[in-house]
Amino acid sequence: MSPINGCDLAAKLLRANPELRIVFVSGYAGTEAFRYEQRFTKAIPFLRKPLKLSELEAQVQDILTHV
């Protein structure tokens, strides 16, 4: 994503709407994937690529049912 990365976009959107529900999806692994974790005051689910559609579907369903 350019000119802004996903973590920066999430932070900006959460400032505008703290109730926004987010799922991170990335091909990065390990510490690279979580280098911005301390920026967020709530846990944000993380899915690693490649992923199955059923994994994404389950995560979205979980977020929608735990309002």
> What three-state secondary structure class fits 12?
helix
Per-residue pLDDT at 13 = 93
Q: How far apart (Å, rounded) are the C-alpha atoms in residues 59 and 62?
A: 5
- Name the β-bridge partners of 25: 47
Asked, for residue 60, whether it belongs to a domain, the answer is: yes
Query: Amino acid identity of 24?
Result: F
Per-residue pLDDT at 67 = 66
Instruction: Tally the domains of the chain.
Output: 1
Asked, for residue 30, whether it belongs to a domain, the answer is: yes
Per-residue pLDDT at 40 = 74
Asked, for residue 25, whether it belongs to a domain, the answer is: yes
Asked, for residue 52, whether it belongs to a domain, the answer is: yes
Domain ranges, residue 44: 6-65
Per-residue pLDDT at 44 = 84
Asked, for residue 27, whether it belongs to a domain, the answer is: yes
As averages over each run of 10 residues, the pLDDT of the chain (67 residues) reads 82 92 82 63 83 95 87
Asked, for residue 1, whether it belongs to a domain, the answer is: no
Q: Is this model's pTM higher than 0.75 or not?
A: no
